[in-house]
Amino acid sequence: MKIICALLFCAILIILANDENDDDDKPKDRKKLNATNELLQMHINKCTLWDRFKHFVRQNRHSMEQLNFMFAIPEQDYDGNTIKQHILERELQQGLLMESVTGNIEFEFVDDIGSDRKKVKKLGADRRKLLRRNLKSLITDIIQNPESHDVTFEHTCKLIGLYLSIRYADNYSTSAVVTPPPDNTCVISHGSTAMVSCKYVIRRKRLLRLVDNDNHLIIMNDILLSLLR
Read off the pLDDT of residues 148-168 as tens digits, 9 standing for 90 and up.
999 999 999 999 999 999 999
Q: What is the pLDDT of residue 79?
A: 94
Long-range contacts of residues 225-228, Cβ cutoff 8 Å, at least 24 apart:
227/160, 227/164, 227/196, 227/198, 228/136, 228/139, 228/140, 228/163
Mark out the alpha helices in the chain (DSSP H runs).
Answer: 2-20, 27-45, 49-58, 64-67, 82-96, 99-102, 120-144, 153-167, 223-226
Give the per-residue pLDDT at 158: 97
d(CA 18, CA 11): 11
pLDDT of residue 24: 64
Note the pLDDT tens digit of each residue in 62-115.
999 999 999 999 999 999 999 999 999 999 999 999 999 999 999 999 999 999
Average pLDDT value for the chain: 89
Asked if pLDDT for residue 145 goes beyond 60, the answer is yes
User: What are the C-alpha distances in Å from 209 to residues 102, 140, 141, 152, 200?
Assistant: 37, 13, 15, 17, 6
Residue range 31-41: mean pLDDT, rounded: 97
What is the per-residue pLDDT for 2?
46
- pLDDT of residue 25 exceeding 60, the answer is yes
